[in-house]
Chain A
Amino acid sequence: MSALNRIREANTRRSTEDSVPLRVAVTVAVVAAATATLRQGVGGSALAVGMLIGIPGAMLFSHLTRYREGFMLKVLLALGILAAFGRFLADVSSLGTGVASDVQIPLAELFLWTQLLHSFDVPARRDLQYSLVSSLVLIGVAGVLSITMSYGLHLVVWAIAASIALVLSHRSELADLPRVVRTGRELPSPSKLLRPVAATLMTVVVLGAVAFSFVPPAGTARALAFPSVLPRASGAIPVPGGLSNPTLGKNDPARRNADGTFDPGGGPGESFGYFGFTESLDTSVRGRPDNTLVMRVRAAQADFWRGQTFDKWNGRHWSLSDDRVREIESDALPLRIPPTPTDSGGWEGSQLVQTYYLERPGPNLIFAAYAADQVYFADRRLFQMTDGTLRAGVELGKDTVYTVISIRPPATAEILREASTGPTEIPRPIATRYLQLPVNMPGRIRELAQEVTAAETNTYDKVRALESWMADNTQYTLDIPRLPKGADAVDQYLFEDRQGFCEQIGSALVVMLRSLGVPARLAVGYSAGVRNPFTGMYEVRASDAHAWAEVWFPGVGWQGFDPTAKVPLAGDAGPQSAAAGLAQYLDLSLPHLPERAGSVVFAIALVGTALGLLAWMAFESTKRRALARRRWVTRFLDRVEAAGRARGRPRPASQSAPAYIRELGRSVLPDGRFDGVAEVVEREVFGAVPAGTEEREQAEQALEEASARWPAG
Chain B
Amino acid sequence: MVVVVLLALALVMIGRTTGSGWTMVIVSGLAGALGAAALWPAVALRRVESRLGAPRDAVCGRPMDLSLEVTGPRTSLVVTVALGYRDAASSFESASDRSWTEVPGAGNFVCSPSRRGVVDRIRLELKCAAPLGLVWWRRSVEAPLDRPIDVAPTVTPSAVPTISEGEGGDRHRPERRSGHDSVRTVRDYVPGDATRLVHWGLTARRDQLTVKELEDPEGALLAIVLDLRGDPLVAEKLASRAAGLCTAGLRSGVEVALCTAEESGPVTGRVSSPTVAGRRLARAVAGPPGTPPRSARVVRLP
> Interface of A with B (CB < 8 Å)?
133, 136-137, 139-140, 142-146, 151-152, 155, 159, 163, 166-167, 169-171, 173-175, 177-183, 195-197, 199-200, 203-212, 215-225, 298-300, 353, 355, 532-537, 578, 650-654
A182 to B19, CA, bound (A): 52
Q: Is the CB of A535 within 8 A of B68?
A: no
Q: Is B79 an interface residue (CB 8 A)?
A: yes
Tell me the chain B residues, 93-115 only, with Cβ under 8 Å from chain A.
Answer: 97-102, 105-110
Q: Is the CB of B129 within 8 A of A170?
A: yes
Q: Is the CB of A203 within 8 A of B24?
A: no
- Which of B35, B79, B99, B133 meets A173, CB within 8 Å? B133
Q: Is the CB of A653 within 8 A of B22?
A: no
> Interface of B with A (CB < 8 Å)?
3-4, 7, 11-12, 14-33, 35-36, 39-40, 53, 67-71, 74, 76, 78-79, 97-102, 105-110, 129-134
Q: Is the CB of A536 within 8 A of B20?
A: yes
A536 to B26, CA, bound (A): 12
A225 to B133, CA, bound (A): 36
Q: Which residues of A contact B98 (CB under 8 A)?
A: 177
Q: Is the CB of A144 within 8 A of B134?
A: no
- Which of B3, B18, B33, B79 meets A223, CB within 8 Å? B18
* Residue in A145, A180, A182, A218 whose Cβ sees the most chain B Cβ within 10 Å: A180
A298 to B16, CA, bound (A): 12
Nearest Cβ distance between residue B21 and chain A, in whole angstroms?
Answer: 2
Q: Is the CB of A215 within 8 A of B31?
A: yes
Nearest Cβ distance between residue B277 and chain A, in whole angstroms?
Answer: 26
* Residue in A143, A145, A221, A225 whose Cβ sees the most chain B Cβ within 10 Å: A143
A614 to B274, CA, bound (A): 63
Knowing that A144-B22, A179-B99, A223-B18 touch, tell me 13 more A-B residue pairs with CB under 8 angstroms: A146-B20, A163-B132, A170-B130, A177-B100, A178-B97, A178-B110, A180-B79, A180-B109, A200-B131, A204-B36, A211-B31, A534-B21, A653-B67
A425 to B4, CA, bound (A): 59
Nearest Cβ distance between residue B46 and chain A, in whole angstroms?
Answer: 16
Q: Is the CB of A196 within 8 A of B22?
A: no
Nearest Cβ distance between residue B88 and chain A, in whole angstroms?
Answer: 25
A-B contact list, 25 entries, CB within 8 Å:
A152-B25, A155-B29, A166-B131, A170-B132, A177-B100, A199-B40, A200-B36, A200-B40, A203-B32, A203-B35, A204-B33, A207-B32, A208-B33, A210-B32, A215-B27, A215-B31, A216-B12, A216-B16, A219-B17, A219-B19, A220-B18, A298-B19, A532-B21, A652-B53, A652-B67
User: What 6 A-B pairs have minimum CB-CB distances, sorted nearest first?
Assistant: A536-B21, A170-B133, A208-B32, A143-B22, A181-B107, A211-B31
Q: Which residues of A contact B35 (CB under 8 A)?
A: 203-204, 207, 211
Nearest Cβ distance between residue B216 and chain A, in whole angstroms?
Answer: 39
A223 to B15, CA, bound (A): 9
Smallest Cβ-Cβ distance to A151: which chain B residue: B22
Smallest Cβ-Cβ distance to A578: which chain B residue: B24
Q: Which residues of B contact A218 (CB under 8 A)?
A: 15-16, 18-21, 23-24
Nearest Cβ distance between residue A106 and chain B, in whole angstroms?
Answer: 16
Q: Is the CB of B39 within 8 A of A203?
A: yes
A139 to B14, CA, bound (A): 13
A651 to B69, CA, bound (A): 10
Smallest Cβ-Cβ distance to A203: which chain B residue: B36
Q: Which residues of A contact B53 (CB under 8 A)?
A: 652, 654
Smallest Cβ-Cβ distance to A181: which chain B residue: B107
* Residue in A133, A144, A175 whose Cβ sees the most chain B Cβ within 10 Å: A144
A173 to B24, CA, bound (A): 31
- Which of B17, B22, B40 meets A146, CB within 8 Å? B22
- Which of A195, A533, A653 meets B106, CB within 8 Å? A653
Q: Which residues of B contact A653 (CB under 8 A)?
A: 67, 69, 106-108
Q: Which residues of B contact A139 (CB under 8 A)?
A: 26
Nearest Cβ distance between residue A393 and chain B, in whole angstroms?
Answer: 27
A535 to B18, CA, bound (A): 11
- Which of A175, A181, A200 meets B132, CB within 8 Å? A200
Q: Which residues of A contact B21 (CB under 8 A)?
A: 217-218, 532-537, 578
- Which of A133, A163, A181, A224 meets B68, CB within 8 Å? A181
A173 to B106, CA, bound (A): 21
Q: Is the CB of A180 within 8 A of B99?
A: yes
Q: Which residues of B contact A532 (CB under 8 A)?
A: 21
- Which of B17, B67, B76 meets A220, CB within 8 Å? B17
- Which of A174, A175, A299 meets B19, CB within 8 Å? A299
Smallest Cβ-Cβ distance to A193: which chain B residue: B131
A355 to B3, CA, bound (A): 31
Q: Take A225-B18, A652-B106, A653-B69 as given contacts and tell me if A136 and B7 are in contact as well, using a CB distance cutoff of 8 Å.
A: yes
Q: Which residues of A contact B132 (CB under 8 A)?
A: 163, 166-167, 170, 200
Q: Which residues of B contact A217 (CB under 8 A)?
A: 21, 24
Q: Which residues of B contact A166 (CB under 8 A)?
A: 33, 131-134
